[in-house]
Structure 1
Amino acid sequence: MLQHAALTEQIIPEQAFATDDSVAVLRFAAEGLNAGMAVALVTLVEIRGGAARPLGAQMAVREDGLYCGYVSGGCVESAAAYEALETLASGKDRQVKYGEGSPWFDIVLPCGGGITLNIHKLRSVQPLLAVLNSLAQRKPVGLRYHAPSESLHSVPGTTRTGWKDDLFEQSYRPSVRILIYGGSVEAQATARVAQAAGYEVQCNPRRVERMDADTAVILLWHDGHKELPVLEAALTAAPFYIGALGSRRTHQRRVEKLFELGWKESDIARIKAPIGIFPQARDANTLALSVVADVAAARLHQEEPIKINGLG
């Protein structure tokens, strides 16, 4: 265990692995704590102007200098790791500014803005384990940092990332799960692209899967009658994205059928059709890129944090 800030001079921070996945960052921190090491959690708590990462982006830094995660585009992470080692040595949490408004003129952010990082010495593994357990059960969860007491607690349920007076709340959502239905080359291509993008993918499950608010449902059948059971299940549930293959004329027939079955206009309006971010994609790979990008855009809108500068 580090006892004095001078000890940090003997340690050169080194990236353990490259990731911006919050689950991987928290797991790395929890594993370090369980191994008896001191660990600091670095959180992006303020953005001034532009920034490479969203509010709430995090790093975990162990006392041996190994760290993971990103709070910027890679330009401040090593410096932030040094600050985290100093925090572990002193035992006192701190906030550090980089870029605009920072005292460090030798660290300039390429985006031209500025960021503030909160560096917290973790006192317990329990809040991290609570978050990881909730996410494994596909339940939204949060971490709440109380600045005056330098304490961290888990918060069940949905929250929003940002400051509330002297509390900074960090929201975590389950990973995106994409359900792809349709025995077509387009479905296979979309599954490959979605997997390459890091999403959890199920292609043509044998039954209609459970759908939650972190699920995207993609229907890529060329035979419209096959999609109806899945489509109705999606409209009954609350997935953040529902997209269906077909031209505008095909979608109009789909709408008419759903009206006949008693669905309301507001329900049917949740269906993105024609599917994708750009029209008339006539080959499987282009369509796959269009669809996965559309899902990513919908998720980004869903996760948009509250942008509140300062400590409230």
Structure 2
Amino acid sequence: MAALIASDPQTLTLEPRAAFLSDDADEILGFAARCLEEGHKAALVTLVEIHGGAARAIGAQMAVRGDGLYCGFVSGGCTEAAVAAEAASAIAKGVDRNLRLGEGSPFFDIVLPCGGGITLAIHVLRDADPLHRALAALERRMPVRLRYDPGAQALSLAQGAGPTGWENDCFIRRYRPKERLVLAGGPAETGRVAAVATAAGYEVIVVERGKVPAPGDVDADTAVAILFHDVDREVPLLEQALATDAFYIGALGSRRTHEKRCAALRERGVEAAALARIRAPIGIFDKARDSRSLAVSVVADIAQARLAGAAE
């Protein structure tokens, strides 16, 4: 890793500002790609080490334009402007650098509220091609990884699968497609859940009455929530969902209803291991008897499953 470099006078006159507020990977990469396309210089800032506590996970990113316009987060929002100023300085010099904030940092006036320390890799972008290729993969709902080589000051696509983190002397950032939620059920329940999921940033597909999801609608980054009060209607949907690699499958109803549901699925040849994938009763708390409570319960349950999968 490159040596830590302290601030220079240019950062004192720059006034960084947020282009928009988002921590979505595709929006951050897209902003960086557009900057280069429009003739601006830009940098990608990545959280590569955490010392103690931190507000963001390893791999959190910002994209910064040469004039200090930025998007993304590497902390809780308390340091992003200072990071953008340092990134703009790196862009002006055309040299990558590492930046340490919080514990162990040379910047005594920047203290992280969590009390820990973070190390950021600031990469001055020289080629938009890796960004475009990563964005194209995500558009096709394919996971993709970018490799940052500090020694070569280069960004490239990484082959194979694997988590975000250091691999030898390179930092690998894994990106997954945006979370999708496939919903089926009564209009009151699906409407509320769809609204909360959309607000949380999920792509939502509502399956019409009597239909099943279209081929390709359900993948490893998709959750399926069945919100009927009718086992006969939900069984074909659950059977199809269980044949996919959806990261979450949940169904509305009591434990007694779930026993009937499983019996009906067993009659259709569904094995016990597959039945164990169904989250029922759906949601993080029992007996959500109104659509608002149900919506919060279901979306929180899906988010928890997504985080657990990411940790694995």
Q: TM-score, normalised by structure 1?
A: 0.93
Q: Is the 8 A contact 2:197 2:299 kept in 1?
A: yes
- Partner of residue 148, structure 1: 151
Q: Partner letter of residue 93 of structure 1?
A: D
Give 1:27's match in structure 2, choosing from 20, 25, 30: 30
What is the DSSP-based 3-state SS (H/G/I as helix, E as strand, rest coil) of the residue aligned with 1:276? coil
- 1:282-297 equivalences under 5 Å are 282-297=289-304
1:63-93: CA deviation from partner (whole Å, max 9, x where unpaired)? 1211111100111111111110111122221
1:37-87: CA deviation from partner (whole Å, max 9, x where unpaired)? 110100000111211111111101111211111100111111111110111
Shift of 1:114: 1.1
Shift of 1:288: 0.8
Shift of 1:167: 1.0
C-alpha separation in 2, matches of 1:233 and 1:294: 21
The answer on 1:239 being equivalent to 2:246 is: yes
Q: Partner letter of residue 69 of structure 1?
A: G
Q: Is the 8 A contact 2:181 2:205 kept in 1?
A: yes
What is the DSSP-based 3-state SS (H/G/I as helix, E as strand, rest coil) of the residue aligned with 2:174? strand
Q: Is the 8 A contact 2:212 2:237 kept in 1?
A: no
Per the alignment, do residues 30 and 107 of structure 1 end up closer, same or farther by CA in structure 2, a change over 3 Å counting?
same
Give 1:11's match in structure 2, choosing from 14, 39, 58: 14
Give 2:213's match in structure 1, choosing from 208, 211, 225: 208
C-alpha separation in 2, matches of 1:10 and 1:51: 28
What is the DSSP-based 3-state SS (H/G/I as helix, E as strand, rest coil) of the residue aligned with 1:277? coil
- Partner of residue 177, structure 2: 174
Give 1:72's match in structure 2, choosing from 72, 75, 84: 75
What is the DSSP-based 3-state SS (H/G/I as helix, E as strand, rest coil) of the residue aligned with 1:216? strand
Give 1:193's match in structure 2, choosing from 188, 193, 196: 196
Shift of 1:7: 5.4
- Partner of residue 309, structure 1: none
Per the alignment, do residues 157 and 208 of structure 1 end up closer, same or farther by CA in structure 2, a change over 3 Å counting?
farther
Q: How many residues are matched?
A: 301
Q: Partner letter of residue 230 of structure 2?
A: D
Give 1:91's match in structure 2, choosing from 94, 110, 119: 94
Shift of 1:192: 1.2
- Partner of residue 114, structure 1: 117
Q: Is the 8 A contact 2:46 2:122 kept in 1?
A: yes
1:199-236: CA deviation from partner (whole Å, max 9, x where unpaired)? 11112244423310000000001111011111111111
Shift of 1:304: 2.4
Give 1:227's match in structure 2, choosing from 223, 234, 248: 234
Shift of 1:10: 4.5
Give 1:277's match in structure 2, choosing from 274, 281, 284: 284
- Partner of residue 249, structure 1: 256
C-alpha separation in 1, matches of 2:289 and 2:24: 33
C-alpha separation in 2, matches of 1:25 and 1:197: 17
Higher mean Cα deviation, 296-305 or 91-100?
Answer: 296-305
What is the DSSP-based 3-state SS (H/G/I as helix, E as strand, rest coil) of the residue aligned with 2:19? strand
The answer on 1:263 being equivalent to 2:266 is: no
Two-structure CA RMSD over aligned residues (Å):
1.5
What is the DSSP-based 3-state SS (H/G/I as helix, E as strand, rest coil) of the residue aligned with 1:17? coil
Q: Partner letter of residue 36 of structure 1?
A: G
1:260-290: CA deviation from partner (whole Å, max 9, x where unpaired)? 2222211110000000001111111101100
Higher relative contact order (CA 8 A, sep 6+): 1
Per the alignment, do residues 203 and 56 of structure 1 end up closer, same or farther by CA in structure 2, a change over 3 Å counting?
same
C-alpha separation in 1, matches of 2:15 and 2:186: 53
Q: Is the 8 A contact 1:139 1:157 kept in 2?
A: no
Q: Partner letter of residue 304 of structure 1?
A: A
C-alpha separation in 2, matches of 1:296 and 1:145: 29
Q: Partner letter of residue 208 of structure 1?
A: P
Q: Is the 8 A contact 1:159 1:170 kept in 2?
A: no
Please, which runs of 5 or more residues in structure 2 have no aligned partner? 1-7
Shift of 1:157: 5.4
C-alpha separation in 2, matches of 1:33 and 1:102: 31
Q: Is the 8 A contact 1:184 1:221 kept in 2?
A: no
Give 1:137's match in structure 2, choosing from 126, 136, 140: 140
Q: Partner letter of residue 257 of structure 2?
A: T
Q: Partner letter of residue 76 of structure 2?
A: G
Percent sequence identity over aligned pairs: 53
What is the DSSP-based 3-state SS (H/G/I as helix, E as strand, rest coil) of the residue aligned with 1:45? strand
Q: Is the 8 A contact 1:179 1:204 kept in 2?
A: yes
- Partner of residue 85, structure 2: 82
